[in-house]
Amino acid sequence: MVSTPSSTSATSSHLQPSLAAEQVLAFVNTRANKLQPEQFPDAVTLERWLQEHQLMNPEDVLTDTDLQEALQLRAALVVVLLSHLEDPEAVAPEDLQQATAHLHHLARSHPLISLISDTEVSLVPARSGGSAALGRLLGLITELVLTGRWNRLKACRNDGCQNGFYDRTRNGAGTFCSQNPCGALMAMRAYRKRKQQTQQVPES
């Protein structure tokens, strides 16, 4: 649900994640990495997760096609969140272009309807069934864009993690999901790389 911004809203309000941000990050962080296994091995587990997060009606049933589209959405979101790091080495331009194109395709396949009142706009899925769950996720992303929080959702720079996180730093310069252990690990890697390069410099 997107409310009309107040004229007294402060930028500092964006330093805390909204419910929409928390739900999108929870979805992104179900993927497998070096820290955890895949959380959606089948449509049944995805269906249960969506219902627990109030993104799917109890009477709806997911199909294998819905599962594949959800996994594709999640993969595309990880790439986009990596791009929010504003680090040219974090994601290849062609990967970002492909992820963006895929998000556009999913948005066309799962359209939303705007329910407008005098103070807010609710984005609801135009379709029912399993398709509606993906529509609700896309609606949450739209809300994040409209409320100025979207670029604060990022993916950890540690390529062994890449968990999504909400950048709470005032200058928006957050890079890792947490400074420990991911930040410490990447700092150690950088130190070792610099040390190796120094050792390889030939003596004059």
| Separation between Cα atoms, residue 108 and residue 146, nearest integer Å | 19
- The 10s digit of each residue's pLDDT in 67-100 is 999 999 999 999 999 999 999 999 999 999 999 9
| Separation between Cα atoms, residue 41 and residue 55, nearest integer Å | 19
Mean pLDDT, residues 104-110 taken together:
95
| Model confidence, pTM | 0.84
Query: Which has the closest alpha carbon to 86: 184, 174, 188?
Result: 174
